[in-house]
């Protein structure tokens, strides 16, 4: 990573992490991602969350935002400034066409539900047994899906349609990057080649959630159909399954939930984002880094003084929970057994364990 304060290097427990290269004082701003590479606001919240800065209407004492694109569907803004910046910065012609296509095809698929289900290849519907879920099995499933995807129009759940929007936002960003349309170029640390360097977690993910493999293959088939029929500008990214697969394989374990407090004072997830360079902060149950989302920017600050050589870690889960609950959650939703010192201490473990 290009920073005076830290560098990316291999960890003793596997994978990469970020390590301080000089003394860092408490509250130092360590890293900023100016905007996510890919993001989605859940459809149910799209009138309540600004399409540019992610401001939540509830925080401003409102039920919804009312500023829209003139020709657009599916995106609301908290201010004319955000709308105008979105038009200036994003590929504004493609997005409304894409959103309209998603809605149209989702309705078409719903109407044709029976016949489509009957025609579908088993790969799109059958939940694989955990024992059969090897990397070879997954790779083969994608090849089969690619060979049959052109004619498929699967019916998707609301969650799957949100995932379609998420993946398409990544494809759009890649297209903007490749074609020079991107007005504010991201740093190389937040580019498509950098995204490909993120840890691929699909094997752990599908073994924990076998239904997600056919679901992701349906998502791919649906995206391919949308692009081929309604968004030809993105067709090169759908010539093979690689782009969709690359995003879906890196989503689990790398993305950030978009959380806000709701009326009841509970934390509500409004969508999720992929901030590529931010994904290199590993987890620690006694973190020395805290993250703060400010609009669509994600900032990371030191929570205490940090010595050179120390790993910079944030927390992926609520660290107020007990050691048993923390480890259960990390294993279930993040697919790893935490190696942090606090866990070791609280488990009464020795270094050999
Ligand atoms: C968001 S990524 C962090 C970057 C990752 N280490 C890499 O090389 O790409 C999360 C992954 O890092 C590893 N990881 C993060 N914190 C960990 C911890 N406390 N104990 C063990 N593994 C951890 C796990 O493999 C996890 O799936």
Residues 272-302 have pLDDT tens digits of 999 999 999 999 999 999 999 999 999 999 9
The conformation of residue 209, written as its DSSP 8-state character, comes to: -
Residue whose C-alpha is closest to residue 274's, from 290, 252, 301: 252
| pLDDT at residue 250 in the model | 98
| pLDDT at residue 150 in the model | 63
Using DSSP's 3-state secondary structure scheme, residue 34 falls into coil
Encode burial over 242-265: b for 16+ CB neighbours within 10 A, e otherwise: ebbbbbbbbbbbbbbebebeeeee
Say yes or no: CB of residue 199 within 6 Å of ligand 1: yes
CB neighbourhood size of 143 (10 A): 12
Say yes or no: CB of residue 15 within 6 Å of ligand 1: yes
Residues 67-122 have pLDDT tens digits of 988 776 789 999 999 999 888 887 667 888 888 889 888 888 777 764 444 455 78
The Cα 51–Cα 169 span in angstroms is 12
For residue 43, the CA-to-ligand 1 centroid distance in Å is 30
Across-strand partners of 272?
40, 257
Q: Among all chains, which residue has been given the structure tokens 């993910």?
A: 205
The reply to whether CATH 2.170.270.10 applies to domain 6-35+275-347 is yes
Say yes or no: CB of residue 301 within 6 Å of ligand 1: no
| pLDDT at residue 350 in the model | 46
ipTM greater than cut 0.95: yes
For residue 342, the CA-to-ligand 1 centroid distance in Å is 16
Residue whose C-alpha is closest to residue 27's, from 282, 314, 288: 288
Q: Where are the domains of the chain?
A: 6-35+275-347, 38-250
With a cut of 70, list the residues of the chain below it in pLDDT. 1-2, 72, 91-92, 113-120, 149-152, 182-186, 349-353
Report whether 17 contacts 11 (CB < 8 A).
yes
Say yes or no: CB of residue 196 within 6 Å of ligand 1: no
Across-strand partners of 269?
259
110, two tokens? 């719903």
**Global model pTM greater than 0.80:** yes
Say yes or no: CB of residue 291 within 6 Å of ligand 1: no
Q: Which among 282, 335, 340 is the best mutation to test ligand 1's pocket, defined by most ligand atoms within 8 Å of the CB?
A: 282
Residue 194 burial (CB < 10 Å; 0-12/13-18/19+)? middle
For residue 199, the CA-to-ligand 1 centroid distance in Å is 8
For residue 283, the CA-to-ligand 1 centroid distance in Å is 7
């Amino acid at each position: 990573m290009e920073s005076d304060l830290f560098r990316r290097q291999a960890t003793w427990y596997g994978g990469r992490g970020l390590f301080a290269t000089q003394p860092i004082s408490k509250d130092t701003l360590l890293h900023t991602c100016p905007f996510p590479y890919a993001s989605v606001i859940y459809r149910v919240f799209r009138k309540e969350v600004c399409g540019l800065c992610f401001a939540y209407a509830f925080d401003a004492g409102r039920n919804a935002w009312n500023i829209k694109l003139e020709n657009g569907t599916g995106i609301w803004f908290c201010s004319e400034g955000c709308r105008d910046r979105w038009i200036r910065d994003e590929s504004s012609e493609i997005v409304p066409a894409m959103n309209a296509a998603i809605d149209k095809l989702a309705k078409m698929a719903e109407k044709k539900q029976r016949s489509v289900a009957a025609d579908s290849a088993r790969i799109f519907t059958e939940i694989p047994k955990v024992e059969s879920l090897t990397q070879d099995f997954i790779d083969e499933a994608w090849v089969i899906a690619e060979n049959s995807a052109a004619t498929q129009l699967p019916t998707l759940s609301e969650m799957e349609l949100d995932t379609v929007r998420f993946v398409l936002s990544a494809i759009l960003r890649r297209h903007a990057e490749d074609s020079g349309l991107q007005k504010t170029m991201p740093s190389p640390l937040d580019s498509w080649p950098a995204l490909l360097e993120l840890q691929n977690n699909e094997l752990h993910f599908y073994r924990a959630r076998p239904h997600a493999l056919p679901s992701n293959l349906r998502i791919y088939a649906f995206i391919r159909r949308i692009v081929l029929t309604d968004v030809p500008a993105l067709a090169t990214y759908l010539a093979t399954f690689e782009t969709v697969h690359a995003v879906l394989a890196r989503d689990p374990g790398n993305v950030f939930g978009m959380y806000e407090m709701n009326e009841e004072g509970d934390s509500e997830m409004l969508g999720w984002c992929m901030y590529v360079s931010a994904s290199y902060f590993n987890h620690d149950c006694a973190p020395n880094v805290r993250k703060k989302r400010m609009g669509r920017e994600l900032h990371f600050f030191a929570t205490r003084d940090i010595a050179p050589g120390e790993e910079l870690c944030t927390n992926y889960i609520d660290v107020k929970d007990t050691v048993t609950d923390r480890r259960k959650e990390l294993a279930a939703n993040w697919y790893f057994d935490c190696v942090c010192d606090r866990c070791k201490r609280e488990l009464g473990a020795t270094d050999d364990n």
